[in-house]
Structure 1
Amino acid sequence: MSWIWNPDGDAPKPPTEDNMTQDPSDPTRKVSKKAANQPFLAHKQYKEKQEQEHLAWLERNREREEKLARGEEVGPAEEDPTAEQEVGFLGLLKFIVYLILIIVIAGKFFTGSFLWEYDGKWARLKTYWPQNGRLFSETYLATFDGRDPAKPLYLAIDGDVFDVSSGSRTYGPGGPYHHMVGVDAARSFGTGCFATHRTHDLRGLTDDELRGVQHWKKFFTEHKTYYKVGRVLHHPIDPTSPIPKHCDAKKEQKGHPTTGNSNPISHSKGNSEVPIREEL
């Protein structure tokens, strides 16, 4: 029942001389070798080793200089083994690679996806190896409208041709927008007249309608499964020919001219002799 007479317990025993060592920051005092001090003590040992190696290098360098002064043959100069190495390009590249690996592995661990569930266009190999150099005539483009099941579905807008085969339920035979494939129906994307404006003629469109065309062009360009395969070469449109009438009579009366020669014919360069409008 000694705890009754001494509730605070015995006083801690002072560390013995065997458990003490010189303080790395103050040579006049000693500190314990307890676990909390080990990192500081290990750093002290490292610095002492570095200093010894540096002094040894200086001595070898001095001996080499003396041999050179006597005309003796010596080997190449030795670099200081304790000199700090610069990171350099390879070191930076290695750091970037390690960082990417850590991010990718963390994504797999936390989300089950190496790309953190990102599924946009930049995750598709075709984004980096695009096959967008083909040129189509209007007649040849028309063969990619789904009538031949062996051919992909191609949709054109303002001169650019996109493969929309992954959306076969939408653009394939029987789909709600099947009439949009095999042709450049850029005008219909701006006006919404999908049945009557299956043409690339953009004359007479309002600014809002032109922005609509560019919106849909951007949509297909940045889509994660649709991708650009080339361009369609259009025959020049006669600037004196009638401008297609709007399917909505009210909009036709409000802002669409009925006479020809109203720019632009197309945003696509090289498809018309009429100056190309580039604001959008």
Structure 2
Amino acid sequence: MATASSTRRRPPRVESAASKSTTSSPPSPDEPEDTTSRVISPLDILRVILTLIFASCLLSYYLTSGTSLLFKYNPWFLNPSQLSLWWTGPLALTPEQLALYNGSDPAKPIYLAINGTIFDVSAGKHTYGPGGSYEVFAGRDATRAFVTGCFLEDRTGDLRGAEMIYIPIEDDPEEEISSSARKLRAEKERREAKKKVQDEVRRWEQFYKKHKKYFEVGKLVGVPEYTGEPPKLCEPAEKGRPKRKNMNSKKEKKKHAPGKPVQ
């Protein structure tokens, strides 16, 4: 049996200098830090962004002669009324409720309605507010007036009979036309006149929808059905109707006008 003194022992493992050099070790507290590398912090990024925004505002102020800091860009979220509408959702007002937004109360916005759509026109308070040139439209649906141009007489949404503004006055008794042809012509002209009315209404509706300062806020509800006799065409609109005699005269002149020479 081998004794303890005769047992061979392995010598301790000695690492080479090359392996020691490749082994990473934490820096000693006495070693100086490497100040040549720079790490960009979130605070640095924020400083750059704020500097760019400030420079952009100054440039906008200079280029617009002091009228705007955002290159005349008016985002909807900076408008308190539009921001409130986005939060609460579209409005649904009856004609009686809409009448409260006619500009008489400075604490309330100014609304008007066209074709059942309500628009906020508070940005034009000097025009739609009390004493303004279009104050008759505030707080109501006066779609008919947009078609006829009679602001005082046609402050209503009733469009019945408004197509008469485009239908010619029959003032040519010498016109040679049969009764059946006259009837067919009248039906065609009425259809075309009603289409012109709807086109005019849509044109004004799009005007307010695409306006930079006015915006849609909701719909008009609870509007009673228009019954009884339709409104008569207001006097200025009646006088502006086309006359059959003039139309026939133009057709006659066009008929006998010399054509282009044949080449």
Q: TM-score, normalised by structure 2?
A: 0.48
Q: TM-score, normalised by structure 1?
A: 0.45
